[in-house]
Amino acid sequence: MITVFGSINLDLVAVVERLPLPGETAAGPDHQNFPGGKGANQALAARRAGADVAMTAAVGTDVFAAPALANLEAAGVDLSGVRRLDGATGIAMIGVEASGENLIIVASGVNARVSASWLKGKLPQGSLLLMQMETPAAEIRAAIAAAREAGATVILNTAPAGDPAVSELASLSDIVIANESEAMEIAAKLGLPGEPEAFVRTVAEGRLGSARLAVVTLGAKGVIAHDGTALYSVPTPKVRVVDTTGAGDAFCGAFAAALDRGDELGAALAFGVAAGSLACTANGAQGSAPDAAAIRQLAATLPISRSLLHANTAPEAENSLGKA
Ligand code: RIB
């Protein structure tokens, strides 16, 4: 089972020819609203990928709350941990250009008031707690402590970049999923190497606190990971990119779902990459979240490269962290 402690937003999306630079205006023909928020996107992706998922989060008392929750409800995510707080539901203002690249401005609303205390009784032993950086760092820290006490495994997706506490929170987690710039940011803070391969090795060697498995997502180049036994890489398949919003979230949710059901690490990475790639083929962060059958079909076509760290490593030690 996967518990997601994270953000819920409504995404207000405008398609523009070219994303604006600071001080510029970019005009598009109209806008569309989609459910979003990194927490909600990852919860939905994990659920569509076949996991039992519960979400602990907040929405406001405004008109954005219902549409923000619609997909999660329809997919059967357990929303008993989602509270309705007096105030505004989080929103994200998103520009998407022809290449599929995006620019996001988030107004956190009640996401800034979620509390780790709401997780009490909601973290079964052996379950996964999946978090991102769109909720307050102090609550993420408290949630990690709650997971430790309950015997749950913590997966931290370090997106979005920029929170000064991210290195510390990554070092308290079990599994860290970062993109290239987030890995650089974490490494720079701690005086560790930030280049993707060196970063995942460093984490696997135990030089990032309790974290033992690191995954760096490389966008169109795929993913790289290290679990202390072997270095894994999976390339991104060629797809027709429409909108990259939520691709990272689809990876995280599907990857977590694969770990939750006990997939071997290489297979879990391929499953995540396939989900992230399919998520780029339609508009919106959630509308494009693929189901397990579609993910499995694409994942089966992806080569998984695995190189051992030490030639004499016992095979039975492989992927121990992949079976969360
Ligand atoms: O990762 C994509 C998400 O980031 C969007 O859905 C938006 O809400 C922002 O939180």
> SS3 string of 140-176?
HHHHHHHHHHHCCEEEEECCCCCCCCHHHHHHHCCEE
Indicate whether 248 belongs to any domain: yes
Residue 124 has a pLDDT of: 97
Indicate whether 315 belongs to any domain: no
Domain count, the chain: 1
| Active-site annotation holds for 62 | no
Using CB atoms within 10 A of its CB, is residue 96 exposed (0-12), middle (13-18) or buried (19+)? Answer: buried
Indicate whether 98 belongs to any domain: no
Indicate whether 126 belongs to any domain: yes
Indicate whether 156 belongs to any domain: yes
Using CB atoms within 10 A of its CB, is residue 129 exposed (0-12), middle (13-18) or buried (19+)? Answer: buried
In whole angstroms, what separates CA 125 from the centre of its chain? 21
Instruction: State the amino acid at position 251 in one-letter form.
Output: F
Which one of 249, 260, 263, 291 is the catalytic residue? 249
Q: Running along the chain, 324 residues long, what does each successive block of 10 average in pLDDT? A: 98 93 92 95 98 98 98 98 98 90 94 98 97 98 98 98 95 97 95 96 93 95 96 96 92 98 98 97 86 97 88 37 35
Instruction: For ligand 1, say whether the CB of 275 is within 6 Å of any of its atoms.
Output: no
Counting from 1 in the atom list of ligand 1, the atom nearest the Cα of 91 is 8
Phi, psi values for residue 98, rounded to 5°: -55, -35
Q: Is the peptide bond before 164 cis (omega within 30 degrees of 0)?
A: no
Indicate whether 82 belongs to any domain: yes
Residue 163 has a pLDDT of: 94
Counting from 1 in the atom list of ligand 1, the atom nearest the Cα of 245 is 2
Indicate whether 101 belongs to any domain: no
Q: Distance between CA 46 and CA 213 in Å, rounded?
A: 19
CATH code: domain of residue 162: 3.40.1190.20
Instruction: For ligand 1, say whether the CB of 92 is within 6 Å of any of its atoms.
Output: yes
Residue 317 has a pLDDT of: 33
Instruction: State the amino acid at position 285 in one-letter form.
Output: A
Residue 308 has a pLDDT of: 87
Residue 309 has a pLDDT of: 61
Question: Which residues are bridge partners to 156 per DSSP?
Answer: 131, 176
Q: Distance between CA 48 and CA 118 in Å, rounded?
A: 24
Residue 171 belongs to what domain range?
2-7+38-62+77-86+114-308
Phi, psi values for residue 110, rounded to 5°: -70, -10
Residue 207 has a pLDDT of: 92
Residue 307 has a pLDDT of: 94
Instruction: For ligand 1, say whether the CB of 246 is within 6 Å of any of its atoms.
Output: yes
Instruction: For ligand 1, say whether the CB of 211 is within 6 Å of any of its atoms.
Output: no
Q: Which of 4, 245, 249, 283 to mutate to test the pocket of ligand 1 (most atoms within 8 A of CB)?
A: 245
Counting from 1 in the atom list of ligand 1, the atom nearest the Cα of 10 is 8
Q: How far is CA 116 from CA 57, 123, 129, 233, 280, in A?
A: 9, 11, 12, 34, 32
Residue 129 has a pLDDT of: 98
Indicate whether 27 belongs to any domain: no
Instruction: For ligand 1, say whether the CB of 288 is within 6 Å of any of its atoms.
Output: no
Nearest CA to ligand 1 atom 10: 37
In the chain, at which residue ranges do the beta strands (DSSP E only) sit? 2-5, 9-15, 31-36, 53-59, 78-84, 90-96, 102-107, 128-131, 153-157, 175-179, 213-217, 223-226, 230-234, 305-308
Residue 7 Cα, ligand 1 centroid: separation in angstroms? 9
